[in-house]
Structures are given as structure tokens and as C-alpha cells.
Amino acid sequence: MNEEVFAQEEDFQPYLLENHYTFVGPEDGGLLEKFVKIANEVAPPNVFHTIHNVLSNSIATKKALEFFPPDTHLRVYVIIPNNDTFLFHLTIDDYCKSYNVEYSKN
């Protein structure tokens, strides 16, 4: 199942509006803070460690997922940056509704 989530994230890239981005993270919102902290710790040294720079870095987010059990349910988060301290995110479906994006899952 998780391979499908990564494929969906890649497939959705052309539908993102300017400065919006995606990452794959744990579906359970209770794990998100831990995930972000780990991603920040494992981000490459050349990444300026703001929440958006870290989460938009696929190396950091994929490495962070390695710290979770393999059966952790994942989802695609669509991020709308508004500042460097607050994380505003939507599901792909909610993003499409909010921004009038026509996308159908393959």
C-alpha cells in the first residue's frame, strides 16, 4: 500500500500551485510531530532547517519514515506555506476542492 502513496505523491506534482508542495508522512496525525522532529534531525546539512525546507526535502522525509514500523499507514500531505513556524496541510482531495484542481487518482 505504501508504494501506492509514493506513486500518488509523484503523480500529483503537476497539479500543485506555486510554492505548494507535498510529502509522504504518517497518516496518524498523532505521529506527525515526531515525524517532523526526526525529519529535521536527519535532513542533509545543506538544508536550512525551517519546517518547510525540511518537509519539502524528500531525502529527509524518506529517512524519517525509516524510524517508523513498516506497517505504519502513510498519506500524502499537501502543504500551503504561510510562514516558517506553522504547518497548514490538506489531503489531496481537500486541496483539489479548495483550489479547484481537477485531479483523478490513477
pLDDT band, very low/low/confident/very high, at 11 (cuts 50, 70, 90): very high
Annotated domain spans of the chain: 2-99
Q: Note the pLDDT tens digit of each residue in 35-84.
A: 999 999 998 887 776 888 889 999 999 999 999 999 999 999 999 987 66
pTM over 0.95: no
Residue type at 29 in one-letter notation: G
Task: Provide the grid cell at 93.
Answer: 482531495
Q: By three-state DSSP, how is residue 14 classified?
A: helix
Residue type at 34 in one-letter notation: K
Q: What is the dihedral of CA 93, 22, 3, 100, to 10 degrees?
A: 20
